[in-house]
A and B are shown apart, each in its own frame.
Chain A
Amino acid sequence: MSLPPLPASAIELGASADDWRAAVRLAGAALVRSGATLPAYEDEMIRMIEEHGPYVVIAPGLALAHARPGPTVLADGLAIVTLDSPVAFGHPHNDPVSVVLGLAIARADQHLAAVAALANVFNDSDAIASLAAASTVEDVQRIMGVTS
């Protein structure tokens, strides 16, 4: 089981976002930089939250922004954005968010290996705080268990 690619271009640390939409757009831009998605994937990630609510905040301080596989996904990819000031997504328990993951999956039938690898990282309850505090891209890749 391995994570989708997480190159340095898909990691942004200490970013500032005025609200949850801006935070999701930063993760979307990171996925575009790494070549995983087209810019329109950002809008789809935002639409998922507008439609279904802030359920993407799946753990305290962590949002997993994602949409369905489709034509705006060019390849599997992961992005990580940390925020200098956390933003609220409107989640009853897990706000505010300081780490936004962007996830793009090209084929639905292969997503479970990718999310299983994510679960391996985040079942360690220190992982979110470590990411939020990370000061270099290499730190983030090490926490995520990515070698590059």
Chain B
Amino acid sequence: MKIVTICGAGIGSSGILKVNAERVLKKLDINASVTAVDLASLADAARDAQVILTSAEFVEAIGKTFADVIVIENYFDTDELTRKLEAALG
């Protein structure tokens, strides 16, 4: 399982999403690699990703993808992450 988190800089917000997604995945006992990237590196990083985690602002820029695009509103709310990841992966 490969998950990609995206933000404009590829540090900061996408890093927070990565850290919290890893915490949630561990709790759900799901084995996945999570990579934080900026929008410019997305095409490469997302080629074989199953899930993309990001903000609403980036959905359009992500464009066509086979991955599930999950929009996260509160990056620090692990309950929201848990709910949305479970729905996508379950």
A64 interface neighbour in B12, B57, B74, B78, Cβ under 8 Å:
B12
Kindly provide the distance from the CB of A42 to the nearest chain B CB, expressed in whole angstroms: 15
Q: Which of B41-69 contact A (CB under 8 A)?
A: 54-58, 61
Kindly provide the distance from the CB of A47 to the nearest chain B CB, expressed in whole angstroms: 9
Q: For residue B15, which residues in chain A have a CB less than 8 angstroms away from its CB?
A: 111-112, 114-116
Give the A-B contact count at a CB cut-off of 8 A: 84
- Cβ of B16 and Cβ of A66 under 8 Å apart? no
Kindly provide the distance from the CB of B42 to the nearest chain A CB, expressed in whole angstroms: 12
| C-alpha spacing A52/B54, complex, angstroms | 12
Q: For residue A105, which residues in chain B have a CB less than 8 angstroms away from its CB?
A: 11-12
Q: For residue A64, which residues in chain B have a CB less than 8 angstroms away from its CB?
A: 12-13, 16
- Cβ of A67 and Cβ of B9 under 8 Å apart? yes
- Cβ of B19 and Cβ of A116 under 8 Å apart? yes
Kindly provide the distance from the CB of A54 to the nearest chain B CB, expressed in whole angstroms: 7
Kindly provide the distance from the CB of A44 to the nearest chain B CB, expressed in whole angstroms: 9
| C-alpha spacing A53/B8, complex, angstroms | 9
| C-alpha spacing A94/B77, complex, angstroms | 12
Kindly state whether residue B25 has any CB partner on chain A within 8 Å: no
Kindly state whether residue B20 has any CB partner on chain A within 8 Å: yes
Q: For residue B11, which residues in chain A have a CB less than 8 angstroms away from its CB?
A: 66, 68-69, 105, 108, 111, 115
Contacts A58-B76, A59-B74, A119-B19; is A52 near B8 (CB within 8 Å)?
yes
- Cβ of A51 and Cβ of B13 under 8 Å apart? no
29 inter-chain pairs at a CB distance below 8 angstroms, sorted by A residue, are: A48-B9, A51-B8, A52-B58, A53-B55, A55-B54, A55-B55, A55-B56, A58-B13, A58-B75, A58-B76, A59-B76, A64-B13, A64-B16, A66-B11, A68-B11, A93-B73, A93-B74, A105-B11, A105-B12, A108-B11, A112-B15, A112-B36, A115-B11, A115-B15, A119-B16, A119-B20, A119-B76, A123-B76, A125-B77
Kindly provide the distance from the CB of A79 to the nearest chain B CB, expressed in whole angstroms: 13
- Cβ of A68 and Cβ of B20 under 8 Å apart? no
